[in-house]
Structure 1
Amino acid sequence: MATVPMDIVRDIFLRLPAKTLVRFRVLAKPYCALIDSPDFIASHLDRTLRTKDHLMILLRGALHLYSVDLDSLDNVTDVEHPMKPGGPTEVFGSCNGLVGLSNSPTDLALFNPSTRQIHRLPASSVDLPEGSATRGYVFYGFGYDSVNEDYKVVRMVQFKRDSDDELGCSFPYEVKVYSLKSNSWTRIGTVPVIIQFLFYFYYHLLFRRGYGVLAANNLHWVLPPRPGLVVCNSLIVRFDLVSEEFDKVPLPQDIGNYNSDTQMDIGVLNGCLCLMCNHDQTYTDVWMMKEYGARDSWTKLFTVQKPKSFKSFSYMRPLVYSKDQNKVLLEINNTKLMWFDLITKKLTTLRIKDCPSSYSAELIVSSLVLGCKGDPKEVKRRQQQQQRDQEDKKRQNKKRDDFLSKGFKLVL
């Protein structure tokens, strides 16, 4: 390898998964410098996003996180991360190889499963407004602001007048945005009234509807239908990560033909915002907004009938196309993954060896974002801990030597 020109080495390295590149950093100082360089990290991510190589599925079981390569489902890896104390840890979004992790509204982190590097967010308190008794539901969102080249986390906290207030409409939400570039939180002052209707207890009880869906520099949440409140029937609210303002997304024009029992969810496929319309748990229509913001670009992609083996069919979202574009990987009821054949309209279970029986899934790309050195604070903490361990060891060795020198005398 020493005789291979660096431009060829760079071209080879760009084609490798991030896990392999982390190991290759120890081969030589020039390779380490190349892999750690911001230009290489950006180029590696750009190629991975274009080719869709080295895709991983992050599985969240009852207490643990697991990862498995989409092209090799026989090797499930337990994902170790420093957020476990106080868990179980929630995964509230993914972007460019990073995932958002949460133990509580004040214990958040960005984590790269490929490099195992973590960046803990500075704690930001939740300030209860005067007159409120308790905090209610918390909504999260995580995405990339490509205009300002910044990763951002959105936290929306619902307040309740008392513990029996399940609707939680009494107080406005507290909305804060974290910027990785500045490593700080900012409170959003102007929040539309419609946000107060984002939470509905039974709607959010089982599935991850509280986590924002990222598409086109915007995070999205769907408002649940509420009996007697027409204004809240299936609206999509978006938060622009660039302007940091709220707005609404227009629904397909034909959506008006659906009845009030139609349940709507949102997702993302091929980078485009998707709308799933579930009809009385019998079948689900999947729509895609092919040109973001243009109502006329909504197109119905396919319809999925309820699998015969499922007792309920209340939640479904698409994750990724197969490489031949003939199938779509679906997550159903936050418990199973299935391939849907776009030609035959048949469903096939994606069987993953040695994985938990029930799990939620997140699609992750292989990337070096956050670098291989990780959070400077975390690195410093580890270095300090290693130094303390070495000092403790020295003290123990000194005590032992003193004991041996004082307690024993050599008799000739």
Structure 2
Amino acid sequence: MSIPHELVIEILSRLPVKSLFRFKCVSKSWSKLVTTDQHFVELHLNQSTKSNNINIVASDPKEKYIEEVYSGDSMNFDNAIQLKLPFSFPFCTKLELVGSCNGILCFMKYFFSSEDMYLWNPTTGDLRIIPNIPTGYSVCVFGFGFHKATKEYKLVSINLDLRFIRVYTLGIGSWRTLDKISYNIIPATSSNVLVSGALRWISRGDHDRYLIVSFDLRDEVIHEISLPNNIYQCDFANAFAELGGLLCLLSCPLNDRVDVWVMKEYGMVNSWTQQFTIKGSTGCGSLKHMRPLGSGKNGDFLLCMNGREVVLCGSVTQTET
């Protein structure tokens, strides 16, 4: 008795990636399905995004490993594993995680005047090196993402000194320079949150007016999005996150408080809604120096405080470490 092909696809699409790649050794047809069938890849990706797990990656250049933390609804981090980086780097090299998308990690390696990008899938082991990133000794911000409509992965580099954007599309193999921009982007603001196919930063304009600069990965154009009214505005007071597929803004008016805002309809300023407030507990550090690491579907957030502590924040007015 044979199993219908459609049922095989449905079963395999629900497996974790590591199990899936073990099962590709069962037959040539399964191996071809897992590695080259684009329809199956998209189906498996859609199933994976329904998971309640949060994957957190922290790098330690001294030890040359990354630590990937898996958690479910219970936010249990007991099953953390360490993975060796598949590339080496000399002493005094700075390694930065630019972003992650669909299981692919994007690293930037800084070594004096040389900058390279690494795209690595820790599950499959696939590694791609993007050499000679065009920074030109200028301050740049970077982003990495995927757009469902074009099915393209793109790297974005914004030169903050010369104020122009460069885009690298995987599969094409070269950087393209777009028109100059007039925005004064704050380097510390994150672009790692990909919502509605766009990367974003915060820009400071005239009269200290702050706004969101959103770069659409499909059309490769910039859109402006206003911040919620009456929120505290300074260079390091706000950070982006994603909550249930919606753009989320974490605002810190006080050292012991984080206001969580959600844009219910993307691009609609009037849809900004303050969902809840997170109050800091003793010893969690100043929330002014926070970086969102991830969020769960139940509204929990993981925040990195002062570059040293990881704090779990619930959707009530409490935090836990």
TM-score by length of 2: 0.85
Cα root mean square deviation, aligned: 2.6
Distance 1:309 1:274 in 2: 25
Aligned to 2:66: 65
Distance 2:233 2:195 in 1: 27
Distance 1:220 1:121, change over 3 A: same
- The structure 2 residue matched to 1:198, chosen from 185, 188, 191, is 185
Quick check: which one's helix share is greater? 1
Distance 1:152 1:261, change over 3 A: closer
Greater RCO structure (CA 8 Å; 6+ sep): 1
Amino acid at match of 1:57: I
Amino acid at match of 1:242: R
TM superposition shift of 1:210: 5.3
Equivalent residues, number: 308
Distance 1:54 1:16 in 2: 14
Tell whether the 8 Å contact from 1:213 to 1:221 is kept in structure 2 after alignment: no
Instruction: Say which one has the larger Rg.
Output: 1
Q: Which runs of 5+ in 2 are unaligned?
A: none
Aligned to 1:348: 320
1:94 aligns with 2:107: no
The Cα offsets for residues 91-148 of structure 1, whole Å up to 9 and x where unpaired, read as 111112212111137411222122121222254444x4xxxxxx24220011112222
SS at match of 1:21: helix
Distance 2:181 2:24 in 1: 49
TM superposition shift of 1:230: 4.2
Distance 1:198 1:231 in 2: 15
The Cα offsets for residues 234-273 of structure 1, whole Å up to 9 and x where unpaired, read as 3211112122122311222343xx4769822222222221
Distance 1:319 1:68, change over 3 A: closer
1:280 aligns with 2:286: no
Tell whether the 8 Å contact from 2:190 to 2:200 is kept in structure 1 after alignment: no
Quick check: which one's strand share is greater? 2
- The structure 2 residue matched to 1:335, chosen from 308, 313, 316, is 308
Tell whether the 8 Å contact from 1:329 to 1:337 is kept in structure 2 after alignment: no
Distance 2:249 2:159 in 1: 25
Tell whether the 8 Å contact from 1:83 to 1:103 is kept in structure 2 after alignment: no
Distance 2:235 2:67 in 1: 36
Amino acid at match of 2:96: E
SS at match of 1:215: coil
SS at match of 2:33: helix
Pairing 1:31-46 to 2, within 5 Å after superposition? 31-36=30-35, 37-46=37-46
TM superposition shift of 1:318: 6.6
Aligned to 1:291: 265
Amino acid at match of 1:217: G
Aligned to 1:115: 124
The Cα offsets for residues 268-297 of structure 1, whole Å up to 9 and x where unpaired, read as 222221122111313111111111100111
Tell whether the 8 Å contact from 1:262 to 1:279 is kept in structure 2 after alignment: no
Distance 1:186 1:260, change over 3 A: closer
TM superposition shift of 1:73: 2.8
Distance 1:328 1:337 in 2: 13
Tell whether the 8 Å contact from 1:141 to 1:211 is kept in structure 2 after alignment: yes
TM superposition shift of 1:45: 0.2
Amino acid at match of 2:174: S
TM superposition shift of 1:157: 2.7
Aligned to 1:362: none
TM superposition shift of 1:309: 1.4
Tell whether the 8 Å contact from 1:253 to 1:295 is kept in structure 2 after alignment: no
**Percent identity between the aligned chains?**
26
Amino acid at match of 1:236: I
Distance 1:252 1:173 in 2: 26
SS at match of 1:266: strand
Q: Which runs of 5+ in 1 are unaligned?
A: 129-134, 160-171, 350-412
Amino acid at match of 1:192: I
Distance 1:318 1:73, change over 3 A: closer
Pairing 1:143-182 to 2, within 5 Å after superposition? 143-159=145-161, 172-182=162-172
SS at match of 1:10: helix
Distance 1:261 1:154, change over 3 A: closer
Pairing 1:19-58 to 2, within 5 Å after superposition? 19-36=18-35, 37-49=37-49, 51-52=50-51, 55-58=54-57
SS at match of 1:35: helix
Tell whether the 8 Å contact from 1:276 to 1:316 is kept in structure 2 after alignment: no
TM-score by length of 1: 0.68
